Structure 1
Amino acid sequence: MKLNPDCIRGILLTVEDKCDFDTPWEYEKDNFESEFLAEYTHKEILYHIKQADESGLIQNVHYYEGGDDVLICDLTPAGHEFLANIRNDSVWKKVISKASGASLPILLEVAKDAALKHFLS
């Protein structure tokens, strides 16, 4: 499956919105609420949760029922940093325009550079 940076962003925004110190986000295939992920299929969401987990953006991910139910405890410090860098829609659009089709590590670097330029200008 092709990496969709918008889906990664949606997952991070959802985790940030739903999680706190003692409340994880439970993604259930047929019963979840997220304004950030409404346009994605279950397979897309599951694939991108895995990519975010393996890239160190989210922590303590547990898969149940063959992936129909996923528990995510929180963002990692790297996940918080990336999300802070791309939260602003104009910064995100710049990142996507510069790094369309790039790997996740490249997106992280482009986001950091774009956020620095945006906030220091």
Structure 2
Amino acid sequence: MKLKHDCVRDILLTIEDIKEFNVFLPIQKLMKQDKLINYSKDDICYTLFKLEEAGFINLQVASFQEGNFPLGITDMTYQGHEFLKNIRQSSVWSETKSLASKVGSTSLTILSDAAAGVVKAQLGLS
């Protein structure tokens, strides 16, 4: 399955918008949000697992014979907030995706580094 970078951004923005401190966010509530209705359940679940693997969110997961299934989000990590701060602005996100498209496919780590580089360049820090 392919990780969709726009789905990554939309999920993080949605979590930030609707997640309350110390309150569990069920996946069913997450998937009903406007920013996510155009993504399939598989895309959202896959992206949630990858965001957790990258250290951007913490998930509660249920294990079944068929495999693991995310039940919901318990928290967005500091690293997740930092990444989201860098990609929040549409102009930064567009430039980051443009840089990533030059190599075809990029990891979340590289995408995060690229976004930080775009922000640094806009601030005149690089």
Same fold (TM over 0.5): yes
> 1: distance between equivalents of 2:22 and 2:3?
30
Greater CA drift, 106-115 or 15-24: 15-24
Residue 41 in structure 1 maps to residue 40 in structure 2? yes
- Give the structure 2 partner of residue 63 of structure 1: 61
> 1: distance between equivalents of 2:85 and 2:119?
8
Amino acid at match of 2:28: E
Residue 82 in structure 1 maps to residue 83 in structure 2? yes
How far 1:120 moved relative to its partner? 4.0
| Structure number with larger C-alpha Rg | 2
Pairwise mapping of residues 87-98 of structure 1 onto structure 2 (< 5 A)?
87-98=88-99
Aligned residues: percent identity?
Answer: 36
> 2: distance between equivalents of 1:32 and 1:51?
16
> 2: distance between equivalents of 1:118 and 1:34?
31
Residue 110 in structure 1 maps to residue 109 in structure 2? no
How far 1:119 moved relative to its partner? 3.6
- Give the structure 2 partner of residue 19 of structure 1: 19
Higher RCO (C-alpha under 8 Å, 6+ residues apart):
1
TM-score, normalization by structure 2: 0.84
> 1: distance between equivalents of 2:123 and 2:86?
10
How far 1:99 moved relative to its partner? 0.8
Q: CA RMSD in A?
A: 2.0
Instruction: Determine helix, strand or coil for the equivalent of 1:28.
Output: helix
- Give the structure 2 partner of residue 7 of structure 1: 7
Q: Deviations over 1:44-92 (max 9, x none)?
A: 0000000000000002x1124752x621012100000000000000000
How far 1:24 moved relative to its partner? 2.5
